[in-house]
Structure 1
């Protein structure tokens, strides 16, 4: 044992030791909060809420009318509306969660949440809408049921109201797409293909298929009423199922591409490359990579060969200035990385080929806009 009066931090031999250091525990990282929603996000939220309200009312009406009329086509449309209602909830969640600010676990932010929830919406359309419609169609083929005259009228009235409600929601979504296309200087078809807002694209796809699905159900029920053959409603259910499966596949395909990592449109890539090529300190841009990180965030990474004669301090100043200028000109390009490299002859040839490819892609899009 240490002698009495010996320092507390000693060994048994009386050799003093370093006092044990006490490191404070690292505080848990507080959530950095959310960014303020943009005006476009607010418009999209209103569009989604309008679609949700319409689908909830229509779903209840279709279920009641379908059970009363014993109509497979109407019940298929009810499943379609239920799926759409659930999907709107997914889209509202995506609008909120994608606004969270970057943190240590997600340094590039949460913008891709929109693509994830849009993928879930596509799965919901496939499972709850498409598969149930196929089930209703097959069951109708097996049955020999017939509807009363009152049942026909109730079913047709419900579908007529549904068509008006879905049409109103579709018109609102189309107006928002038109305004976004006008602001971006694009045609409406190109704006839809660009997929800048997956929530809006999903609502538009849902409303479009809902209107077409209601038309199928109306035709099927009307033919059933005239011929007393349930095969027409069964075929209508199967057509609705095929339509929903196709739309779900297209939406899932778009979301998959954006989740994996998708470049921005060729016109923006060409503009950024042209700006970098025009900087006097840059001799060559050997590689330009872009990736959407969300609806309001884009990663830009470029390998550049600088002109000779710059010292290390000048190189740093040039890179900082160019990054700031890229973000100022294109606010969406908020993540800019420049890698200084020495360009080889092969790099310059490849870069020239990429520029020609971008020019051709931009020209093709412009031609498509003129045709549309």
Structure 2
């Protein structure tokens, strides 16, 4: 992908705007249908869509605030602020959407009697499914483009990407379609049996679905806020680039960190050739930065620290960033 192409955050902004507009229109339609029909599942779906709309507003804020350029007080930029807003978005989904759906579903099972028309619920559910499918299609296209650029699978890209906005839109739109199916099933069973139990159960299941999505997104944003390393395969490629420089004997320590969705920091302790002059070391450091930033546009900062050889040390890497194990909840790499 050339430097002339649109930056990822520009495409993410478009994805978020499309998803937000779709969710707002759907939320209003579901609310009207829920009030007219009296369906708990429809009202839960309305709450779901209103929560998603608010989430998109927060994600848009995340993109705008996180993309501000670095300044004297924030020399590494504002990328991590995007994770703060994305975390707020996940928490809002958890509290507003899931909380309402579960509570309303329980209330429906205990005391509610259906008092409206089912037809409008079916119509709104069908139209909503089409609109949500359009929004999800855009998110899927972005995921596929980005996964091709990183030469990985869409599933792996979604699991490891630091762009929490596209991950949030994809998961929320997927959950929205599943929620619509659950709502349709609940309304249909209540219509067929005359028992509002099914409508209430559907509402509770929608709430649990939202809880799962919110939990995944919250955990992901917390990991990035703490300071997550790049995926293991990318770390290995960075190490190979540095180790391949002519004046480099080996890489003693390599550390990486996601500073934002499109900002990566690379720091390394490097053992240079004993015969290398100061000028050669400086030239090698400049070449390292050119290679890495040229190959990966997300890499913004490269720091190399010359270090002495240890007695008996051989090979290319004495100690590098620890690789997370599946048991520790990290990303099992490489594949």
Task: Output the TM-score relative to the length of structure 1.
Answer: 0.82
In the alignment, which of 74, 82, 93 is matched to residue 50 of structure 2? 82
Does the residue aligned with 2:317 lie in a helix, a strand or coil? helix
Q: CA deviation at 1:85?
A: 0.4
Structure 1 residues 349 and 357, CA, compared in 2 at 3 Å: closer, same or farther?
Answer: farther
In the alignment, which of 81, 89, 108 is matched to residue 113 of structure 1? 81
Q: CA deviation at 1:362?
A: 11
Q: CA deviation at 1:353?
A: 7.0
Alpha-carbon displacement from aligned partner over 1:69-105 (angstroms, at most 9, x marks no partner):
1111111000000000001111111221122110111
Q: Which has the higher contact order (CA 8 A, sep 6+)?
A: 2
Structure 1 residues 322 and 183, CA, compared in 2 at 3 Å: closer, same or farther?
Answer: closer
* Structure 1 stretch displaced more, 293-302 or 305-314: 305-314
Does the residue aligned with 2:152 lie in a helix, a strand or coil? coil
Q: CA deviation at 1:52?
A: 1.1
Q: CA deviation at 1:305?
A: 1.2
In the alignment, which of 67, 71, 80 is matched to residue 99 of structure 1? 67
Matched, 1:128 2:96: yes
Q: CA deviation at 1:37?
A: 10
Alpha-carbon displacement from aligned partner over 1:10-62 (angstroms, at most 9, x marks no partner):
xxxxxxxxxxxxxxxxxxxxxxxxxx994432222222111111111111111
Q: Which has the larger radius of gyration?
A: 1
* Distance (whole Å) between structure 1 residues aligned to residue 212 and residue 298 of structure 2: 32
Name 2:128's counterpart in structure 1: 162
Cα pair 1:286 1:348 within 8 Å, conserved: no
* Distance (whole Å) between structure 2 residues aligned to residue 228 and residue 40 of structure 1: 50
Q: CA deviation at 1:161?
A: 1.2
1:234-249 pair list within 5 angstroms: 234-249=200-215
In the alignment, which of 104, 108, 112 is matched to residue 140 of structure 1? 108
Structure 1 residues 214 and 257, CA, compared in 2 at 3 Å: closer, same or farther?
Answer: same
Name 2:327's counterpart in structure 1: none
* Distance (whole Å) between structure 2 residues aligned to residue 214 and residue 344 of structure 1: 62
Q: CA deviation at 1:154?
A: 1.2
* Structure 1 stretch displaced more, 230-239 or 37-46: 37-46
* Distance (whole Å) between structure 1 residues aligned to residue 195 and residue 294 of structure 2: 65
Alpha-carbon displacement from aligned partner over 1:234-274 (angstroms, at most 9, x marks no partner):
11011011110011000001111111111112222111111
* Distance (whole Å) between structure 1 residues aligned to residue 284 and residue 147 of structure 2: 35
Matched, 1:334 2:312: no
Structure 1 residues 345 and 351, CA, compared in 2 at 3 Å: closer, same or farther?
Answer: farther
Cα pair 1:267 1:362 within 8 Å, conserved: no
In the alignment, which of 157, 163, 167 is matched to residue 201 of structure 1? 167
1:269-348 pair list within 5 angstroms: 269-344=235-310
Structure 2: unaligned runs, 5 residues or longer:
325-329
* Distance (whole Å) between structure 2 residues aligned to residue 363 and residue 193 of structure 1: 11
Does the residue aligned with 1:107 lie in a helix, a strand or coil? coil
Does the residue aligned with 2:228 lie in a helix, a strand or coil? coil
Cα pair 1:190 1:365 within 8 Å, conserved: no
Does the residue aligned with 1:47 lie in a helix, a strand or coil? helix
Name 1:264's counterpart in structure 2: 230
Q: Which runs of 4+ in 1 moved over 4 A?
A: 345-350, 352-358, 361-365
Cα pair 1:290 1:301 within 8 Å, conserved: yes
